[in-house]
């Protein structure tokens, strides 16, 4: 049961964030809950990217899945309500993944990365041109849940992270992990061993896109406004892949630790060093990647070894 090696740490992480709104946070309460919201949401996005990366695919389409979920939920919320709109937004993201996967999953490595980047750019252009998305002006999203929304938004993002964590743990502890690992290491050998490589990659992409779509939907309802430049941005896709690399690839704990550290660090640096905070952020990121190739979670492995 490899996926449960870090289960106590994972449960502690989830418990801390579940209890965060009840802690005595004083005058920092609103700021810390805001940071917590983004930690939970972008960590879920990172876990969804890691699910795809376990097959060896470098996806740059997670910004597109995030945007599809955000726009799907934002457009449907006034008609069907908040929760159904979030689920339907995730299905829209899944439809995008099926479209991308049916055309490109026989590609791998850099070829798939370029194709997934082109897919994101096509969707961003469509969002800029189509009239019902608001075009370059953007799309206002009505505030759901009225006065309870700030806390409800926090727990919605916590729910998305719970789902992402459960999927990641299942993928780590089930035979699906072996199929993903075989596909990542050699597609030819995996096929000889009887692994249905395209199906493994397609299911990984679908699971990842659903989580990314849910995260996008919750993001839109938090910001109350969607812009094609933000929702479909390449920066979103880069953020999704940097967090698992920073925390530790192909694990559940790695993206959790990476998300908590990196997103909190970015928010704190943005507050304390308004000009040039990205320079410090980038330098820390480069140092960790250079000296901890297995991410922060690799330190745990060294201590056990």
Check residue 1 and report its DSSP letter. -
Looking at per-residue pLDDT, the higher value among 272 and 195 belongs to 195
Task: Supply the pLDDT for residue 284.
Answer: 84
* Residue 6 CB partners (closer than 8 Å, separation 6+): 251, 252, 253, 297, 300
Return the percentage of the chain with pLDDT > 90, whole number: 68
Residue 272's pLDDT band (cuts 50, 70, 90): confident
Task: Supply the pLDDT for residue 148.
Answer: 57
Backbone angles phi, psi at 140, to 5 degrees: -70, 140
Question: Measuring CA to CA, how many Å separate 167 from each of 60, 132, 272, 299?
Answer: 20, 33, 36, 24
> How many whole angstroms separate alpha carbon 100 and alpha carbon 90?
15
pLDDT tens sequence across 175-226: 999 999 999 999 999 999 999 999 999 999 999 999 999 999 999 988 889 9
Average pLDDT on 81-96 reads 95
Mean per-residue pLDDT of the chain: 90
Looking at the predicted structure, is the pLDDT value of residue 256 above 90? yes
pTM above 0.85, yes or no: yes
Backbone conformation region of residue 138, classed left if phi is above 0, alpha if psi is from -120 to 50, else beta: left
């Amino acid at each position: 049961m490899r996926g449960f090696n870090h289960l106590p740490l994972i449960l502690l992480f989830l418990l801390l964030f579940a209890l965060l709104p009840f802690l005595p946070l004083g005058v920092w309460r609103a700021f810390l809950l805001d940071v917590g919201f983004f930690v939970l949401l972008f960590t879920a996005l990172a876990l969804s990217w890691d699910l795809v990366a376990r097959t060896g695919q470098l996806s740059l389409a997670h910004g597109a899945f995030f945007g599809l979920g955000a726009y799907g939920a934002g457009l449907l919320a006034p008609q069907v309500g908040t929760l159904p709109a979030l689920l339907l937004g995730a299905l829209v993201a899944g439809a995008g993944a099926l479209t991308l996967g049916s055309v490109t999953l026989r590609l791998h490595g850099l070829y798939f990365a370029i194709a997934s980047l082109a897919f994101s750019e096509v969707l961003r252009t469509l969002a800029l041109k189509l009239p019902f998305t608001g075009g370059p002006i953007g799309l206002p999203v009505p505030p759901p849940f009225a006065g309870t929304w700030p806390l409800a938004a926090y727990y919605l993002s916590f729910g998305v992270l719970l789902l992402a964590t459960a999927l990641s743990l299942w993928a780590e502890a089930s035979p699906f992990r072996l199929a993903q690992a075989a596909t990542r290491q050699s597609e030819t050998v995996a096929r000889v061993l009887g692994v249905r490589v395209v199906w493994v990659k397609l299911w990984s992409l679908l699971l990842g896109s659903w989580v990314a779509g849910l995260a996008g939907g919750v993001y839109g309802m938090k910001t109350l406004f969607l812009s094609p430049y933000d929702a479909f941005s390449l920066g979103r896709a880069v953020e999704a892949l940097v967090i698992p690399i920073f925390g530790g690839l192909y694990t559940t704990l790695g993206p959790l630790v990476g998300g908590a550290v990196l997103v909190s660090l970015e928010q704190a640096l943005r507050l304390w060093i308004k000009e040039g905070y990205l320079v410090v952020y980038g330098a820390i990121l480069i140092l960790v990647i250079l000296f901890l190739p297995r991410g922060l979670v690799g330190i745990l492995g060294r201590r056990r070894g």
